[in-house]
Amino acid sequence: MSDRAKDLNERSLQLLKALVERYISDGQPVGSRVLSKDSALNLSPATIRNVMADLEDLGLIHSPHTSAGRIPTVSGYRLFVNSLLTVKPLNAKELMRLYQGLSERDDASNMIGVASRLLAELTKMAGVVTLPRRELVCLRHIEFLPLSHKRVLVIFVTNEQEVHNKVIHTDKVFSAAELQQAGAYLNSIYCGHSLATVRAAVLKELQDDQERMNQAMLDAIKMAQLTFESDSGKDDYVLAGQTNLMGFSELSDRDHLKKLFDAFTHKQDVIHLLDQAMKAEGVQIFIGEESGYQAFDHCSLVTSSYSVNDEVVGVLGVIGPTRMAYEKIIPFVDVTAKLLGAALNPKTTAP
């Protein structure tokens, strides 16, 4: 789908723009009459019909049946979003809500929840925010507790106050004292580093000459390795306002709705999609079937990655029907991402 804009003259594009905007606001197929009156370009319905026939040939719009108006296709929306759309700034009230909600410093996971709820509430659609990637958070404290048999409970704290825990299986039995010593050792050398750094360092230690370490140190390193191995796949997200989606007539089909909600609970597909979105910096939009997931066939997803310290750590967005007010949602998601990123920035956290 290279830019079709070139295949079309200015007038056709303006017409498409007017049509999409009209359809988004009214939700009904729009005919030549209304466009004739509505749009700034003074054209007769007949002319508009001719232009619309061209647009239909290009696959940008289509009509549900002979005597209905036209509605945009996915390609039509895409062209609209890419080249025609004029974003509207948020109004003061919305901005204020966002700003207030995301300025109080709090537990990061609470903040994620707040962001998700704000997205849902202010857009009347569903909001989604991924948890910040673990890799990039910094290790603050680690500690081991003995469980029965050869299992060890690892507790580690990241950033200010986020606690994670995991059970690892060791190949020998450790006493509480040994474990405490291992924790102290790891704290002394890795505290303050990012998890990614820690993992890399641990791997390096294990590959390097191990002669210079005593057994206790080696055990500690091994346990650290078990703790931090392949935890990266365990991404997650916080969803809010799913039920808002039940109000939209375009999602009224019970089957579509079920598929969508199933995707929400199984999470996997949604995570993949959000992962994709995270790769592209800034605002990213998936319209209808573009996402590639059937569950999202009649939905659009507007996302933006959010960053802490200029490093992308997560992504947030809004899920709604394909027919959504992109010109408002896009800046909205953009601003929310920036505010969330700023709010999560530890450097500016009050003591």
Partner DNA sequence: ATTGGCACTCTTCCGGCTGGAGTGCTAATT
Partner DNA sequence: AATTAGCACTCCAGCCGGAAGAGTGCCAAT
Task: Give me the least distance between CB of 164 and a copy of itself, in Å please.
Answer: 9
Give the one entry of DNA, a copy of itself, none that residue 187 binds, where binding means its C-beta sits below a cut-off of 5 to 8 angstroms depending on kind. Answer: none
Among residues 68, 96, 163, 173, which is the contact residue for a copy of itself, using CB under 8 A? 163
215, burial (CB in 10 Å: exposed 0-12, middle 13-18, buried 19+): exposed
Q: Is 288 in the site for DNA (CB under 7 A)?
A: no
Quote the distance between the C-alpha of residue 181 and its chain's center.
Answer: 40
* Concatenated DSSP letters of 183-246: HHHHHHHHTTSBHHHHHHHHHHHHHS--TTS-HHHHHHHHHHHHHHTT-TT---EEEE-GGGGG
Nearer to DNA, 41 or 95 (CB): 41
Binders of a copy of itself in range 203-242 (CB under 8 A): 242
Q: What is the contact mask toward DNA in residues 112 to 151, using x (rule: CB under 7 A)?
A: ----------------------------------------
Strand order in the sheet with 151-158: 139-146, 151-158, 162-169
55-114: contacts with DNA (CB under 7 A): 56, 63, 65-70
- Dmax over CA atoms of the chain, in Å, equals 88
Query: Closer CB to a copy of itself, residue 53 or residue 173?
Result: 173
> CB of 5: closest distance to DNA in angstroms?
18
181 to 24, 176, 214: CA distances (angstroms):
63, 9, 13
Q: Is 47 in the site for DNA (CB under 7 A)?
A: yes
Give which of DNA, a copy of itself, none residue 163 binds (C-beta under 5 to 8 Å, depending on kind).
a copy of itself
18 φ, ψ to 5°? Answer: -60, -40
In angstroms, the Cα distances linking 208 to 1, 52, 88, 213 are 51, 69, 57, 10
Which residue, chain included where needed, has tokens 């899920």? 319
Instruction: Decide if residue 161 touches a copy of itself (CB under 8 A).
Output: yes
Contact by Cβ (8 Å): 244, 125: yes
- How far apart CA 232 and CA 234 sit, in angstroms, is 5
Instruction: Please tell me whether residue 317 binds DNA under the rule CB under 7 A.
Output: no
44 interacts with DNA by CB under 7 A: yes
d(CA 138, CA 275) in angstroms, rounded, equals 21
- Which of a copy of itself, DNA, none does residue 45 bind (CB under 5 to 8 Å by kind)? DNA
Q: Give the footprint of a copy of itself on this chain (CB under 8 A).
A: 107, 141, 143, 145, 147-149, 151, 153, 155, 157, 160-161, 163, 165, 167, 242-243, 246-247, 252, 254, 257-258, 261-262, 265, 349, 351
Q: Give the footprint of DNA on this chain (CB under 7 A).
A: 11, 29-34, 42-47, 49-50, 52-53, 56, 63, 65-70
